[in-house]
């Protein structure tokens, strides 16, 4: 490494002014940018040549970047992380000069030029080497499946810089040409089809890929290894070839994925009105992923093995629903995210909200029997619960650090954003909304766009005021709660009094007052008649006359179709009237929405838990599985912290009485001829009645099935197997522990091994639990798998304390072993506690540690706030819960 001389350093500082705040002393050494690259140079094309040998823990390569310089440049910064750049040069026309490599800290590398490069075109060439990770799933990493090594990539959001020096920002969207030098017997796949292959010396070959359409660095991807290919035919307007790329010997497990990708692609094409934008679509399996399940790399989508592959005899409705939801989401990204890309990470929501919304919209049409509108309502309600934290992000949160980029991939971006899209789609009308989406995609195809671009296009179709109203949800944190009161004074037309405020649970820190512009749709009626009306509620409160000539309605629903992103609190006897007799006037999504919101509002301390429980038992025996699931969510909401010890037995009796009959009738294993909904209900209901309700019959059967499964893999169905194994562990002794542990080691099926490790974290005997946790400090299992033991033990009240003590005592060792990308969320391990002592303990433990760990401040704030909420809720509600349960 050569030191830079004075003039270059000054020029560097000057070119950075405005991009990075330079300390006064910086003139002596070039200071790398802080977060973003200076705008003085942009790429116009890349050529990348990498040597990837999956058996090796290092790789090497060269990159040529065509540049457009906007000003004289003597120091060019690029992104690079843990790369060793050994040589570089810059070519302008016919003049070539060697570049000096300037260290740039964790995220940058500088290239210094003795002769300042002129504005205009230039080409940078750099030679480098880097590491292939064994544990992380960021940058280039390798994994073993069977006896074979495979190499993969995951670059979103900012890890392309681990593979090559580049402009690692989404707005730099240009064509790429990749060449991979790989072992002769391996297959190499990337974003574009293979253009040519040629043998090289030393058992290698060079695979050259065609030039890609313009792509940002985060969507570049490849895979290398002895994969098998499953041909999934062609689909869509351009007869796009579709393939499943799977670890050797596992093609038969891709049956469902291969069969369904084409139809999903065609459904999306139909909606967008633009043919699938790339030359092919490959779905590549990654055996293990950390903190992501799938990734929408252009034309080379990657999926965690358990999402794409399943043994034919274990292909259950749950598997099919999960695959199709994720495949629809990732494939929707090929248009929304890939064809049109966000300009910067403050609009991560635009990518993720849209793909989530579009994925579920696609399934709704494609498989009506999956009741997608009902599932949407249930997940909206759970998102609202997370959004009650004052520390929750805004949908569009400014990005000030790398940690903010990482934090943006949360349920606010996915769940809240998609719920808000649904709400505005319903307000604008599905047809106009679709026109807006089509217009937006066509206008920005192969380019970048911002939230403003999207909203202004929608507004052009949907009418003025949309963008402004939408922004009240984008740029304000939190979720509105609507209070509704029906007024039917004699001599006056009936009216609805509606008021909005931010939903803040008891125990929340003070938060700024907020007013949203909410598209509110209400329904009301009596007997045979009902009416629907929609208004934009932009003020804190309003009185809406109900244009009904038929007198006072018997009931009123505050969220017609349950498409609004808000929770409704019904004042007086309005909720009782709404749900009377099983709420026959409501649609299924509406019935489920009202019940789901009740659980959310109960947890937020906005409705009495005693009332919520009384309602749950009314619906526990409902004929519809979604309604039963919603009732389970209410009844299980008090399990962890609100049931006093001396009422535990009463709580168990309550559960067995109302939920037990259906659970016992279903049994642990599927029965021939059952409908899909029933199969989907089974895991939730059985787990609740057997664990929280301690149903002796189901527990004994679980133990019997777990023992049988150790001998015969067909003894339990895949959807309940995890629960069965864990329940047996919860009642289990050393003998069972001694059978589980070697069994987990011997399993080749990753899903089953994960289920068993989950169960191994559930032994109530503290000696066994400590032994189980010790496994994390050994190499008995891959750490990414053995961490399951810790998460399992932390998630279960009887094992939580021992797990927490273990976590604290071994923090440094665990942190050094766990994948890097998991570290940012470690403070969440404390969020399930519910008492002031543990709150203090969690805060003390993490206070100093989060300073050293990028991105952990927000997760810690969320964890502490969740504990505060829980403590306050317990103080407020436990007495009433106790009184309610005393009747059972």
**Interface with Zn ion by CB under 5 A: which residues?**
352, 355
Q: How far apart (Å, rounded) are the C-alpha atoms in residues 392 and 410?
A: 10
Helix 783-794 to helix 797-809 angle, to the nearest 10 degrees? 130
Question: Which C-beta is closer to Zn ion: that of 355 or that of 372?
Answer: 355
d(CA 593, CA 582): 13
* Least gap, CB of 201 to Zn ion (angstroms): 41
Q: Which residues contact 609 (CB under 8 A, 6 or more apart)?
A: 602, 637, 638, 642, 877, 880, 881, 884
Q: Give the integer Cα–Cα distance in Å for 844 and 118.
A: 55
Sheet containing strand 480-487, edge to edge, reads 541-545, 495-502, 480-487, 567-570
| Smallest separation, CB 355 to Zn ion (Å) | 4
**Least distance (Å) between residue 292 CB and Zn ion:** 9
Burial class (CB in 10 A: 0-12, 13-18, 19+), 513: exposed
Helix (H, G, I), strand (E, B) or coil at 672: coil
Distance in Å, CB of 649 to Zn ion, minimum:
45
- Nearer to Zn ion by C-beta: 52 or 355? 355
Q: Least distance in Å: CB of 375 to Zn ion?
A: 17
Residues ≥6 apart with Cβ < 8 Å to 840: none
100 vs 353, beta carbon nearer Zn ion: 353
Q: Which is nearer to Zn ion, 182 or 355 (CB)?
A: 355
CB of 359 to Zn ion, least distance (A): 8
CA distance 31 to 38: 12
Which residues neighbour 12 within 8 Å (Cβ) at sequence distance 6 or greater?
A: 4, 30, 31, 74, 75, 102, 110, 112
Shortest spacing between CB 351 and Zn ion, in angstroms:
6
**Closer CB to Zn ion, 355 or 706, in the complex:** 355
Shortest Cβ 348–Zn ion spacing (Å): 9
Choose between 316 and 353: whose C-beta lies nearer to Zn ion. Answer: 353
CB 4 within 8 A of CB 26: no
Return the number of the residue (13 or 158) whose C-beta is nearest Zn ion: 158
Smallest distance, Å, CB 862 to Zn ion?
A: 21
To Zn ion, the closest distance from the beta carbon of 156 in angstroms equals 9
Q: What angle do CA 386, 391, 395 make, to 5 degrees?
A: 70
Shortest Cβ 221–Zn ion spacing (Å): 14
Whichever of 352 and 590 has its CB closer to Zn ion, that residue is 352
What is the spatial distance between Cα 552 and Cα 403, in angstroms, rounded to a whole number?
A: 54
Instruction: For Zn ion, give the closer residue by CB, 267 or 592.
Output: 267
- The two beta strands, 194-199 and 176-183, are unpaired
CB of 285 to Zn ion, least distance (A): 18
Instruction: Please identify, using beta-carbon distances, which residue of 336 and 758 lies nearer to Zn ion.
Output: 336
- Taking the C-alpha atoms of residue 774 and residue 757, their distance in angstroms, rounded to an integer, is 13
Please provide residue 156's backbone torsions phi and psi, each rounded to the nearest 5 degrees: -75, 135
Contact at 8 Å (CB) between 322 and 309? no
110-113 long-range CB contacts below 8 Å, 24 or more apart?
A: 110/12, 110/30, 110/32, 110/75, 110/76, 110/77, 110/78, 111/75, 111/76, 111/77, 111/78, 112/4, 112/8, 112/12, 112/30, 112/74, 112/75, 113/8, 113/73, 113/74, 113/75, 113/76
How would you classify the pairing of strands 240-246 and 281-286?
Answer: parallel
Report the distance separating Cα 827 and Cα 812, nearest Å: 14
Beta-bridge partners for 174: 215
Q: Residue 90 or 355: which CB sits closer to Zn ion? A: 355
Cis preceding linkage at 157, omega within 30: yes
Nearer to Zn ion, 292 or 366 (CB): 292
CB of 364 to Zn ion, least distance (A): 18
Alpha carbon distance, N-terminus to C-terminus of the chain: 77
Please answer whether residues 47 and 63 qualify as being in contact, where contact means their C-beta atoms are separated by less than 8 angstroms: yes
User: CB of residue 438 vs Zn ion: minimum separation in angstroms?
Assistant: 20
Q: Which is nearer to Zn ion, 40 or 334 (CB)?
A: 334
How far apart are CB 296 and Zn ion at their closest, in Å? 6
User: Which residue sits closest to Zn ion, CB atoms considered?
Assistant: 355
Beta bridge partners of 113: 99
Smaller CB separation from Zn ion, 353 or 508: 353
> Which of 352, 652 has the CB closer to Zn ion?
352
């Amino acid at each position: 490494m050569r030191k830079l001389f004075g003039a270059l350093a000054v020029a560097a500082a000057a070119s950075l002014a405005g991009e990075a705040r330079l300390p006064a002393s910086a003139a002596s050494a070039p200071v790398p940018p802080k977060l973003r690259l200076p705008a003085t140079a942009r790429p116009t094309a890349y050529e990348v040549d990498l040597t990837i040998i999956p058996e090796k823990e290092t790789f090497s390569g060269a990159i040529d970047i065509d540049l457009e310089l906007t000003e004289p440049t003597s120091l060019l910064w690029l992104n690079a992380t843990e790369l060793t750049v050994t040589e570089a040069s810059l070519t302008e026309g016919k003049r070539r000069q060697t570049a000096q490599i300037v260290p740039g800290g964790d995220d940058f590398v500088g290239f210094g030029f003795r002769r300042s490069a002129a504005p205009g075109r230039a080409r940078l060439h750099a030679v480098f080497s880097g590491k292939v990770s064994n544990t992380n799933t960021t940058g280039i990493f390798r994994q073993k499946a069977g006896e074979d090594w495979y190499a993969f990539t995951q670059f979103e959001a900012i890890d392309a810089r681990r593979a090559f020096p580049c402009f690692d920002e989404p707005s730099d969207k240009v064509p790429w040409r990749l060449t991979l030098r790989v072992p002769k017997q391996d297959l190499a796949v990337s974003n574009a089809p293979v253009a040519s292959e040629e043998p090289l010396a030393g058992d290698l070959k060079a695979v050259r890929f065609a030039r890609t359409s313009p792509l940002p660095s985060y969507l570049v991807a490849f895979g290398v290894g002895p994969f098998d290919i499953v041909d999934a035919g062609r689909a869509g307007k351009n007869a796009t070839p579709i393939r499943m790329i799977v670890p050797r010997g596992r093609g038969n497990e891709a049956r469902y994925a291969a069969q369904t990708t084409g139809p999903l692609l065609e459904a999306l094409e139909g909606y967008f009105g633009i043919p699938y934008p790339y030359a092919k679509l490959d779905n590549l399996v990654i055996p293990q992923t950390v903190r992501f399940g799938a990734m929408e790399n252009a034309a080379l989508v990657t999926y965690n093995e358990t999402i794409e592959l399943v043994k034919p005899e274990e292909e259950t409705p749950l598997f099919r629903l999960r695959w199709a939801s994720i495949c629809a989401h990732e494939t929707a990204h090929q248009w929304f995210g890939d064809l049109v890309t966000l300009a910067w990470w403050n609009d991560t929501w635009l990518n993720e909200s849209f793909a989530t919304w579009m994925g579920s919209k696609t399934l709704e049409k494609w498989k009506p029997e999956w009741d997608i509108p009902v599932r949407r309502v249930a997940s909206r309600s759970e998102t609202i619960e997370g959004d009650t934290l004052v520390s929750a992000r805004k949908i569009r949160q400014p990005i000030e650090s790398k940690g903010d980029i990482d934090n943006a991939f949360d349920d606010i971006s996915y769940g809240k954003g998609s719920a808000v899209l649904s709400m505005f789609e319903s307000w604008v009308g599905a047809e106009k909304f679709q026109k807006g989406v089509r217009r937006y995609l066509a206008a920005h195809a192969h380019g970048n766009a911002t939230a403003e671009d999207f909203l202004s296009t929608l507004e052009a179709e949907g009418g003025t005021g949309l963008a402004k109203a939408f922004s009240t949800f984008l740029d304000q944190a939190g979720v509105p709660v609507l209070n509704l009161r029906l007024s039917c004074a004699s001599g006056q037309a009936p009216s609805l009094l509606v008021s909005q405020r931010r939903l803040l649970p008891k125990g929340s820190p003070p938060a700024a007052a907020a007013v949203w512009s909410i598209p509110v749709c209400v329904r009301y009626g009596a007997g045979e008649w009902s009416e629907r009306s929609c208004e934009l509620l932009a003020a804190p409160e309003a009185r809406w006359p109900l244009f009904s000539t038929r007198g006072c309605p018997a009931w009123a629903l505050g969220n017609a179709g349950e498409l609004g992103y808000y929770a409704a609190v019904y004042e007086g006897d309005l909720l009782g009237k709404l749900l009377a007799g099983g709420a026959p006037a409501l649609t299924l999504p509406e019935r489920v929405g009202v019940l789901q919101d009740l659980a959310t509002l109960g947890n937020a301390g906005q409705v009495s838990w005693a009332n919520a429980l009384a309602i749950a038992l009314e619906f526990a025996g409902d004929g519809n599985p979604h309604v039963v699931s919603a009732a389970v969510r209410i009844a299980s909401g008090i399990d962890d912290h609100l049931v006093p010890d001396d009422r535990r037995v009463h709580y168990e009796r309550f559960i067995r009485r109302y939920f037990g009959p259906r659970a016992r009738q279903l049994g642990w294993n599927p029965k021939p001829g059952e409908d899909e909904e029933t199969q989907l209900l089974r895991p939730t209901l059985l787990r609740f009645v057997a664990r929280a309700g301690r149903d002796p019959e189901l527990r004994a059967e679980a133990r019997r099935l777990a023992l049988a499964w150790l001998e015969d893999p067909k003894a339990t169905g895949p959807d309940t197997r995890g629960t069965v194994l864990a329940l047996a562990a919860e009642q289990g002794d050393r003998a069972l522990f001694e059978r589980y542990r070697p069994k987990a080691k011997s399993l080749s099926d990753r899903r089953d091994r994960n289920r068993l490790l989950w169960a191994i974290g559930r032994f109530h005997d503290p000696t066994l639990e400590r032994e189980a946790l010790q496994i994390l400090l050994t190499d008995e299992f891959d750490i990414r798998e053995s961490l399951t033991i810790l998460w399992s033990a932390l998630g279960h009240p009887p094992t939580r304390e021992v797990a927490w003590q273990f976590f604290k005592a071994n923090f440094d060792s665990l942190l050094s072993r766990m994948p890097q990308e998991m570290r940012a969320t470690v403070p969440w391990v404390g969020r399930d506690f519910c008492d002031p002592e543990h709150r203090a303990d969690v805060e003390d433990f993490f206070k100093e540690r989060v300073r050293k760990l990028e991105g952990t401040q927000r997760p810690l704030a969320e964890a502490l706030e969740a504990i505060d909420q829980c403590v306050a809720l317990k103080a407020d509600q436990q007495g009433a819960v106790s009184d309610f349960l005393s009747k059972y």
